[in-house]
A and B are shown apart, each in its own frame.
Chain A
Amino acid sequence: MSETMEAITTYLAPRRLDEALQAMADGDATVFCGGTDLAPQTESGARPYKSRLLNINRIEGLGGIAADGGEIRIGATTTVAEIRRSAALAEIAPVLVEAAEHFASEQIRNAASLGGNLCNASPAGDMSPPLLVLGASVELACWRDGAAHTRRVPLEQFFVGPGKSVKRPEELLTAVVFARPAPGFVGRFRKSGPRPALEISTVSVALGARVADGRLSEVRVAMGSVAPTPLRARHVEAALEGQPLDATTIAAAVAAAAEDAQPIDDVRASAWYRSHLVKVFVEEVLDDVRGN
């Protein structure tokens, strides 16, 4: 229990985004939504509280999935459970629903928000690889010069290290957006572990691409837990882009996976096993696309 914990002087649960952004403007606010990451991190002392505790759960319009137009928009406070149950997302972006399916437990999914999962910036964050292959961006809002300002950051530029993102202390992640996948888009997600969920992934791999005439294009491949941040696997993508999806291409992509993944040894797995699994999963998702 850290001394900083006692420094909380204000608790706020605003209903309007403006109020929240104003409360964050000096960068001295700790934001929570579900609390599923913040609570253990603060309890263990790994993360100090700032002087203001800001509950963003009550902000109107910050949650929900808008999937009508060409751009899909998922509000920051949307829970993982809502994503898992979303009929619209199951239709448009099943790869994201698949990742939600394998996310922690029902109790966590009911509380954990999409925005929180991304802001936690864990290399093992389950929602990151599918969003990376969907080409998602995040919206970051802040209060400056008496008004709210929003900038968009592509998700692949969002993460900068374990627990670190480009989001500034005064910014709030308000939404995740991605273009409606074009016809022919296929997505796949694969996460390690014998448990169906409740597992910090040892390795995760996501694939998103257009498939036409047996060839892949606009290929995006993302990996989790193989580097300090979730990453786009550029070498694998290059091995696949425009290529016929045959055994030779798949073998090349598997070989390229070793170039993209720079895993470490930790308590969950060795670097050897992670490198091995990445190859297995790349092959598996490609075989699966090829088989269908």
Chain B
Amino acid sequence: MMSVETEIRFTLNGRPVSLKVPATMKTLAMLRDRLGMTGTKYACGEGECGACTIEIDGKTVNSCLMYAVDCDGREVVTIEGLRTPEGLHPVQQAFVDHGAVQCGFCMPGMIMQARNLLANNPELTREQAQRGLEGNLCRCTGYTKVLDAVEAVAGKNTCGRATP
């Protein structure tokens, strides 16, 4: 009695993936429950908190709202895709260095959004970062150290496209 399943193929963090998903499944559930990619978090399921932010074809979206079937043929990058063989992505490292991580639950989404903002605007100002992160809720940090981290990366131009 499950709803119809559809085979989809897409690129996940640079690697080809193909699987069958129910038509109504959201990308968040596919990543977490089908692919074991638990870095992307559920926190509201309604696009109001940004904890599930991923990048699709270079743009950030809330994966809890995105139909998994719509990933077909596209490039998906999750928090797990940012880490390079050399170590943490510069944005991840800046978040660590500046104390932006407390409980850390919102951080994968926050970092995905911050990295995307910086990739599109390497000269990102603090005010622009505040606006750009308006869709990412954090209950621990008061955003101050998040913004410190983003500011530290801005201008260094180390945020090329995430897609490997």
- Chains A and B directly touch (beta carbon < 8 Å): yes
- Interface residue ranges, A against B (CB under 8 Å): 5-11, 13, 32, 34-36, 39-40, 42-43, 49, 53, 55, 57, 81, 104-108, 110-111, 195-198
Closest 7 CB pairs of A and B: A105-B135, A8-B3, A11-B23, A39-B65, A110-B59, A40-B46, A53-B23
B81 located at the interface, meaning its Cβ lies under 8 Å from any Cβ of chain A in the complex: no
- A34/B4 in contact, CB under 8 A: no
Q: How far is the CB of B2 from chain A (nearest CB, A)?
A: 7
Query: Which partner residue on chain A sits nearest B58 by CB separation?
Result: A110
- DSSP class of A's interface residues: helix, strand, loop or mixed? mixed
Q: List 29 A-B contacts (CB under 8 A).
A: A5-B3, A5-B24, A6-B1, A6-B3, A11-B6, A11-B69, A32-B67, A34-B66, A35-B65, A35-B66, A39-B26, A39-B64, A40-B65, A42-B24, A43-B45, A55-B67, A55-B70, A57-B70, A104-B47, A104-B135, A105-B134, A107-B47, A107-B50, A107-B62, A110-B60, A110-B61, A196-B134, A198-B134, A198-B135
Distance A32 CA – B27 CA, assembled complex (angstroms):
14
Contact A105 B65 (CB under 8 A): no
* Given A36-B47, A198-B134, CB of A108 within 8 Å of CB of B72: no
Chain B interface mostly helix, strand, loop or mixed?
Answer: loop
Closest CB-CB distance, A145 to chain B, in whole Å? 29
List the B side residues contacting A42 at CB < 8 Å.
24
Beta-carbon contact of A111 and B66 below 8 Å: yes
A13 near B46 with CB under 8 A, answer no
Checking A9, A35, A195 against B67 with a beta-carbon cut-off of 8 angstroms, the contacting residue is A35
**Bound-complex Cα distance A13 to B70 (A):** 8
Q: How many A-B residue pairs have CB under 8 A?
A: 99
Chain B positions 121-137 with a Cβ under 8 Å from a chain A Cβ? 131-132, 134-136
Q: Is B53 an interface residue (CB 8 A)?
A: yes
Interface centre among B46, B59, B65 (most CB of A within 10 A): B65
A198 to chain B, nearest CB (A): 5
Contacts of A39 in B (CB 8 A): 26, 46-47, 64-67
Chain A residue with Cβ nearest B26: A39
B113 at the interface (CB under 8 A from A): yes
Q: Which B23-74 residues sit within 8 Å CB-CB of chain A?
A: 23-24, 26, 45-48, 50, 53, 59-62, 64-67, 69-70, 72
